[in-house]
Structure 1
């Protein structure tokens, strides 16, 4: 089993923490996590893939062990992760995107399509039909950035909501380790973390505005594409996964009987899908 190294690198004044495993020279795989997590969400997946891939999994700016972004926006996060890939020598790579990792990774793809060898989207959305009614409080803030609408979103940062994201749609909640959601809550309690997350809720509308641009990239470049989706996700619906085939007819779409954080219950299944897809 390949050992996992835990490293920190300075990217234009932002401290970026990342996990690294596998051998240099192996096919490169970038893992991008989502809200409210960190690269810790890949703790079970990395050992299942490190014999075959050179893996790096950064904590996005504003999450986990990384420093805050220069600006609390997805463009700023993507800027830092783009520079991060250059700093660690990821010149061409497959990318695994989940939740917030999707608009980050898709920004990298439209900026540098030549760098992307394949995309694995695990509940990483790029279509309006993939957005559930669970987004309604955030949509309200997009439409009216009032103090009241912003304050209402603090409910998304509570331990109860974090647990809901992990447990909803899972047939047996006792199979979910408390390590993931407990660590997420710890990081959400960092000084300044609430402001970062509330700002990102508001800025998520820029991702939806870019959906047509992402889709044009899919149609034009036809990247190798695997969508592996927890079908019971309360935020990103199965039609969002199926829509990828509209623009990439050869896209492979697989559904798993689980929720948003599919790796918590189906890491071995997802690793098997990735190994087969990238064979």
Structure 2
């Protein structure tokens, strides 16, 4: 049973905002690496770690995690500063800082995941952890993964803009205020190329209405550096599955094809008509792909043939 945690950074409050949080029965608060983390653990079997992307939280796995829990012990934390996890100092909101913190969290929990899956920036954190030796899974699943630097004109203005916004104490409060405006969160989700059910929209609204959560997402984006990660991707030890939505307006599905050419043995699956939140739109299909990939690479036993 989860115990209450107090956020001093205007983030979501567990008793107020988490009273009906998806998979709440698996929630607990764990102290590791100097932070109090919100972690969900459900299911039985080999350990599988799920990491959400920038601006999301464990709610992103509300449908997928229970499906995977039929085969695995699923561990899903809120990233630092996101959801109900505490926010560290700015330097630890970097890719390297998050990878190190999550490795410490796993050590505290006593888990050594055999399969890891990350959405968007979560996939980059997992790749960094693998390259640094923080984890050694048999398989890594990237869900619309942000594994390559943003190129072109967007790359030249997005990072400076994120730094500017992250430096302002007022911006997160303004974003949180505007998030209460009818239709704003719906437009934000539509801009990713995805369509979510009303529950999914409401959960994102709760997060975006919290200045602390918004501030953490902006700080994370401002400190994001993927050049070294991209250069080291060919050294990834686990087998890599890249799942992408063909309608992703945040990270083009062509990025998955580019990464495939960089990582020996990598495989891509492009899901037609789905956007950046494909794992929330079609969790059953994504779960099937992950379980199949895990079986193919020895992380789960082979499926028993049906009796004739």
1:177 counterpart (153, 172, 197): 197
The answer to whether the 8 A contact 1:95-1:118 is kept is yes
Q: Which residue of 2 aligns with 1:64?
A: 83
2:108 counterpart of 1:87: yes
The answer to whether the 8 A contact 1:141-1:149 is kept is no
The answer to whether the 8 A contact 2:43-2:72 is kept is yes
Question: Residues 271, 194 of structure 1: CA spacing in aligned structure 2 closer, same or farther, 3 A cutoff?
Answer: closer
2:30 counterpart of 1:9: yes
SS of the aligned residue for 1:259 comes to coil
Deviation at residue 238 of structure 1 after TM alignment: 1.4
CA distance in 2 between counterparts of 1:167 and 1:241 reads: 21
Residues 155-176 of structure 1: CA deviation (Å, up to 9, x unaligned): 98753664345334658x4xx2
Question: Residues 38, 146 of structure 1: CA spacing in aligned structure 2 closer, same or farther, 3 A cutoff?
Answer: closer
Deviation at residue 48 of structure 1 after TM alignment: 1.1
CA distance in 1 between counterparts of 2:106 and 2:80 reads: 14
Point out the structure with the larger helix share.
Answer: 1
Residues 170-227 of structure 1: CA deviation (Å, up to 9, x unaligned): 58x4xx22323332332233353343232222112x23443212x2423xx3x21111
1:237 counterpart (241, 247, 252): 252
Q: Which residue of 2 aligns with 1:51?
A: 70
SS of the aligned residue for 2:282 comes to helix
State the TM-score, normalized to the length of structure 1. Answer: 0.82
SS of the aligned residue for 1:243 comes to helix
Structure 2's unaligned 5+ residue stretches are: 1-22, 296-308
Mean Cα displacement is larger for which, 70-79 or 114-123?
70-79
Deviation at residue 65 of structure 1 after TM alignment: 1.1
User: How many residues were matched structurally?
Assistant: 265
CA distance in 1 between counterparts of 2:228 and 2:186 reads: 29
Structure 2 matches for 1:26-175, cutoff 5 A?
26-71=45-90, 72-112=93-133, 115-128=136-149, 137-141=157-161, 145=163, 159=179, 162-168=185-191, 173=195
State the TM-score, normalized to the length of structure 2. Answer: 0.75
Deviation at residue 86 of structure 1 after TM alignment: 1.1
The answer to whether the 8 A contact 1:131-1:235 is kept is no
Question: Residues 79, 70 of structure 1: CA spacing in aligned structure 2 closer, same or farther, 3 A cutoff?
Answer: farther
The answer to whether the 8 A contact 2:166-2:215 is kept is no
CA distance in 2 between counterparts of 1:183 and 1:216 reads: 37
How large is the Cα RMSD of the aligned pairs? 3.1
CA distance in 2 between counterparts of 1:156 and 1:168 reads: 16
Deviation at residue 247 of structure 1 after TM alignment: 2.4
* Structure with the greater alpha carbon radius of gyration: 2
Q: Which residue of 2 aligns with 1:278?
A: 294
Q: Which residue of 2 aligns with 1:252?
A: 267
SS of the aligned residue for 2:120 comes to coil
